[in-house]
Structure 1
Amino acid sequence: MKNSFAAFFLLVSNLWGQGQVEFRPIESIRIEQNGDRLVIQIPPKAHLKTTFLKVEALSSPQAIRMGALPRASGQDELGDDIYRQELIWPIFFNTVEPELELTVTYQPCTEGPGGICYPPTQQKIKVRPMVSQSSADPSFPWWSFISIFFAGLLASFTPCVYPMIPITIAVIGIRDISKKRAAVLTFALVMGMALTYSMLGVIAALSGSIFGSILSSVSFIVAMSTLFFIFGISLLGAFEFSLSSSVQNRLQSWSSRSGIWGPFLTGVALGPLSAPCIGPILGTILITISQGKTLFLGALELFIFALGMGVPFMMVGILGAQLPKSGAWLEFLKKTMGLMVLSFALWTLRTILPVAWLLGMCFALAAIAIPIYLKIKIDSSRLKILHKSILAVTTLFVIYFALRLTEIHFKITIFRGTTARILGLDQSFKKEWMNQDLEAAIEEAQKQDRPILVDVYSDWCAACFELDQNTWPDESIRDYIQKNYIAIRIDMDKIRPDLAKRYQIIGYPTILVLNTEGREMKRALGYRGPQEMLQFINLNQVK
């Protein structure tokens, strides 16, 4: 931190004629304790990304537990949640020590013209442990329980669960018994489901960040994508996960002799069987739980999810309610869910597959979807409108993916100008820049007797993304750079940290103008639009 602080003042003295940098990653962010809350004050025109937010008691890791983060203030250009003005974060103490030193990690960015994303920064703060005002996490939004309940209810109407409701009720032997007995058996079934999902919640809460790191590993991504692919083609009719009539009869016979344990164990088994359709919903909840939820809340959230999922079972088992008959609507829903699950399988691969492969798979899936929908016979007039709308959207996706593949294969540009910028596709300028190898750029600069333009970026930097979307694709910028510079893009955060020290990089993006020896002539911090950037790189102004 001291080195970064010193680098800051060196940079300010270098840029005195270009305006002072008012924001300072450490000094501008105020962190203090307010009872059982950690309050982080964020100055105007700045924000913190949730990606790097972390609070640790390094001397005693079990001494604190951070509550759930409040709702974010918004999102940056990368789609990451951010906080502005003030972040109030509940903190729970589990220690008798009179004082603790906490290390707070955050990643600040400034906004607007000249916006800069600084590297993850740390501050140390001393706090006095105290008893929280409530034994429950006060920041936990109780409305989340309601939304999770309805997520479970929605999951029960997916094609993997809905058709199993009458079969399951028949298997556990609800017919021809008193309503009181039916209520007990059905409740046992739902409790079995709740046990399965609650255990998942406990595992997610216990594993915490380990759960998140497992989810981001390549082996897990491939395994999950393969699993969702199998489930997806099953929903499309390639094969079915079903019990034969003889097995159903044996289960019914065993269930009638086993009291409440039969329905309970049936409910336990029902959880994994419903995975093909509810995996994306369940996965989202599990990831949320792993990000700081307590053991109790983790189990409770998944318990409530199971209760919502069990509502139709209770209605059929206890009240004898009749489910709507299967028909074209269920077939339509089943095929749609199958395509959605396959889409989710591709989405999980987005971080490990080359763009061309991913686009090819997306094109194939969209092309296959059209004949699948055309084969479905729709009777309802309302469903026909939805059916035709989905067909039209799917056709547009086929055209889009075909054009994107054409661009990549033939190395041409189809989406240009405003259209490309809106779609975020105009990245062809990168072919005109060298990549990471500054030493090779210096050699080329000496051969051509040209200065070097360096775009210093990081993959977590939203302002860098803005440059790639708005500034570098501009035709006037591209033309000027090609005629006057040797251009190179360098990730000095992960790939070339040695250069970050050499050039005293304190924030991203940083634009450097170097001479043929690699010595700095000029620099700019933060995002600049095309006109500002053109003015900055104008060689007549470089001294």
Structure 2
Amino acid sequence: MNNMPHRNLFLALLLSWLTTFAFANDDGEFLPVNEAFQVSAVDAGNHVHFTFTIADGYYLYKHRFGFEPTAGTPGELGEPVYQQAAEWKDDPIFGQVEVFYSSVDVYVPVLAADDGFIEIDAHYQGCADKGLCYIPQTYTNMYQIDVDAAAPDINPEPGKPRPESTKSTDLDAESPSVFPAEAPLGSEKRPNPGQITQSSTDLDADDALSLETFLSQNGLFSIIGMFFLIGIGLTFTPCVLPMVPILSGIIVGQGTDLSRRKAAALSITYVLGMAVTYAILGVVAGLTGAKLQVAMQNPTVLFSFTAVFVVLSFSMFGFYELQLPSGIQNRLNSISQRQQGGTYIGVAIIGVLSALVVSPCVSAPLAGALLYIGQSGDWVLGGLALLALGLGMGAPLIAIGVTGANILPKAGGWMDNVKGLFGVMLLAVALWLVKHLLPETLAWVSGGGLLILAGLYCGALDPLTSPRGKLFRGIGLTILACGSSLILAQFISSPAALSSTASVQQPLPFQRIRSEQSLDQALASARANGQPVMIDYFADWCTACFEMEHETFSHSDVQNRLSQHVWLQIDLTNNPQDNALLQRYNLPGPPAILFFDKQGNELKNARIYAYKSKAQFLNHLEQHRIQH
């Protein structure tokens, strides 16, 4: 008997089943967290060897690994060593971050253990490439350790260099954004919903608005060079120029027979004292940067830092001065005056004190630089970058100390323009910090406004007094025109942009839920009133959740379409019931959006597991016949 037809039929059915499964997976089926990330651990001498096996299409964040003795367990652990090198991923919001694919081996040294035993909590968190992020996980186990044993032979792969830029240009609307898991996570390349503030184009105009964005996408030498140039620019502000008579006084203190070589040496000593002061600030910012980076994902913290940058920028615009309290300034001044001019130690001390006392105007851009370094978490970068900033500020001072102040441009209104441009840069950083929390139109309009402001400070409307004035006025007019065009384009391309922007200012109609009991009560109330329900799973470490709030749920079209629904938002942030709330509907993590009819029955085929733009979301509602 010929079995070929039966075999062909079997193969066809098998292929059909596999294809169906594959497409079901593409539609949002994600692995349970214990299948996406499998953990095993064994003791290895005086180390514990953890192995994290990662499923295809999933990854773990290096920032989210943490190892500590279980609460109440005596013991001490050293710094973990990662066998494999992490890969860099780039996120349009959080910058670059290191992640692991496939697997990673982590060796954790045990420095002290109670009677040779120690229980360790291993913390980790990861995401799926297709747009789902799992809640933080903890793996706990007991190990027998000989702290005096030899360390295992560990040969970690060298770290991969940070790429200059890996920004995504893929705008596939059906591939939802991938988002970082939690604060300090940085990143992911998003096959985006429009790069958050870029709905249908790959323009990087918002990146051009931000010095921080430039720095985050360039290598060490580019960053140091940029800080050096910023330092030179800061020299030509009204509050740095008073350093000139201080430096002149130092040189005069040596006597009339001072050689040019000695004058140069004294000038360099003065500048190094000033630059090292800034370098120390940079190192401190880098060492404490991990904590800052964790906080920088929280919207409350982001808006707080934005307010700080706005306050700093207004000081550059001349609304007020930022400086040390007068009592501290007077004390530092008295110490400075007691130092003998012309001696290298005294000159270095005066340089340190000058950095603190004589340059209050530098405090605003300096604070911005420190915040950038704090986010990087790199103390070496912090020290070198701020050293370069101080050397840049000092380069013109060295020239002045050697040749005299006659080479310095004359003071005038142009110095206020320089301060104003630094104020615009600070506002640009403020906008960059929260641009992903703003509606698209508002972000672009704000960027256009900054360009207009920059054009004005470049002299776009200043009277023509010289050929040089014509050049700067032309530059200013060009920048002003670009800013105006950017704003007009938002309203020409979208006539409803203004109303859409205004609508997001209204509070979202969500009822926050943090327990199963509250959820049961809300569902029972909706069922009794004959109302359908939409449930949104939310966490403050879920970037896509914020995108849905500000890019989708905030639109009046979406709110009107679901006006008969009860909007429930389950908040998983620091929620002890997070696992129970997720397991209730067999969900791996946020984002997840569920729909229920008037009888309280879930429309399971209508589930959403990743970011959807307003248009995609409304189309999803129509496709699944979600009732009005």
Fold similarity call, TM over 0.5: yes
Counterparts of 1:241-390 in structure 2, within 5 Å, are: 257=341, 259-272=343-356, 273=359, 274-288=362-376, 291=377, 293=378, 299=383, 302-303=386-387, 305-318=389-402, 322-323=407-408, 330-341=415-426, 376-377=462-463, 379-380=467-468, 381-390=470-479
1:533 — aligned with what?
620
Check 1:387–1:360 CA distance in 2 against 1; reply closer, same or farther (3 A cut).
Answer: closer
- Measure the CA separation in 2 of the matches of 1:469 and 1:217: 15
Q: Could you say what secondary structure the match of 2:125 adopts? A: strand
Equivalent position to 1:185, from 266, 274, 282: 266
Distance 2:103 2:312 in 1: 41
Q: Which of 112, 117, 135 lines up with 2:133 in the alignment?
A: 117
How high is the sequence identity, in percent, across the aligned residues? 20
Instruction: Indicate conservation of the 8 Å contact 2:232/2:393, yes or no.
Output: yes
Give 1:64's match in structure 2, choosing from 74, 79, 82: 79
1:230 to 1:53, Cα distance in 2 relative to 1, 3 A: closer
Q: Secondary structure at the match of 1:64?
A: coil
Task: Check whether the contact 1:198–1:303 (CA below 8 A) recurs between aligned residues.
Answer: yes
Task: Report how far residue 444 of structure 1 moved.
Answer: 4.0
In structure 2, runs of 5+ residues without a counterpart are 1-20, 163-217, 324-332, 514-518
Q: Contact 2:220 / 2:381 at 8 angstroms: preserved in 1?
A: no
1:53 to 58, 61, 64: 64
Residue 374 of structure 1, CA deviation: 5.4
Q: Residue 233 of structure 2 corresponds to which residue in structure 1?
A: 157
> Given the superposition, is the C-alpha separation of residues 26 and 171 from structure 1 closer, same or farther in structure 2, using an over 3 Å criterion?
farther
Deviations 1:327-372 (CA, angstroms, capped at 9, x unpaired): 67544322211333356568779999999x9999999999987876
Task: Name 2:592's counterpart in structure 1.
Answer: 510
Q: C-alpha distance in 2, partners of 1:219/1:268?
A: 35
Q: Establish whether residue 75 from structure 1 lines up as the match of residue 91 from structure 2.
A: yes
Task: Give the deviation of 1:387 after TM superposition.
Answer: 0.7
2:31 is matched with 23
Offset at residue 267 of structure 1 (A):
1.8
Q: 170-179 or 32-41: which moved more?
A: 32-41
Q: Tell me the amino acid that sits aligned with residue 204 of structure 1.
A: A
Which residue of the partner structure matches residue 436 of structure 1?
A: 512
Answer 1 or 2: higher relative contact order, Cα 8 Å, separation at least 6.
Answer: 1
* 1:487-506 alignment runs, 5 A limit: 487-494=566-573, 497=578, 499-500=581-582, 502-506=584-588
Inter-CA distance 502–104: structure 2 relative to 1 (3 Å threshold): same
Deviation, structure 1 residue 24: 3.7
1:148 is aligned to: 224
Distance 1:520 1:145, change over 3 A: same
Checking the alignment, whether the CA contact within 8 Å between 2:455 and 2:476 is kept in structure 1 is no
In 2, the alpha carbon distance for the partners of 1:285 and 1:353 equals: 24
User: Tell me, what secondary structure is at the counterpart of 2:589?
Assistant: coil
Aligned mates of 1:17, 1:216 — CA distance in 2: 34
SS in 2 for 1:199: helix
Q: Note the C-alpha offset of 1:492.
A: 3.0
What is residue 4 of structure 1 aligned with on the other side? none
The count of aligned residue pairs is 493
TM-score calculated relative to the size of structure 2? 0.58
Q: CA deviation at 1:454?
A: 1.9
Structure 2: distance between partners of 1:241 and 1:499: 49
Q: Which amino acid in 2 is paired with 1:507?
A: G
| Deviation string, structure 1 residues 423-452 (Cα, Å, up to 9, x no partner) | xx59759878543265456424422x2432
Q: Deviations over 1:230-264 (max 9, x none)?
A: 6544433456789xxxxxx9999866546123321
Mapped to 1, the partners of 2:298 and 2:621 lie a distance apart of 41
AA aligned opposite 1:109: C
Q: Give the Å deviation of 1:63.
A: 1.1
> Secondary structure of 1:173's partner?
helix
More deviation in 372-381 or 259-268?
A: 372-381
Larger mean Cα displacement after TM superposition, 71-80 or 29-38 = 29-38
Within 5 Å, give how 1:401-440 maps onto structure 2: 414-415=497-498, 425=501, 433-436=509-512, 438=519, 439-440=521-522
Q: After TM superposition, give the deviation of residue 313 of structure 1 in Å.
A: 3.5
Shift of 1:99: 10
3-state SS in 1 of match to 2:133: coil
Instruction: Provide closer, same or farther for how the CA distance between residues 476 and 336 of structure 1 changes in structure 2, counting only shifts above 3 A.
Output: closer
AA matched with 1:488: W
Across the aligned residues of Structure 1 and Structure 2, the Cα RMSD in angstroms comes to 5.9
Please give the TM-score of this superposition, normalised by the length of structure 1: 0.66
Unpaired stretches in structure 1, ≥5 consecutive residues: 1-15, 243-248, 404-411
Match of 1:235 among 316, 329, 338: 316
> Contact 1:165–1:312 (CA<8 Å) still a contact in 2?
no
The offset of 1:389, in angstroms, is 2.5
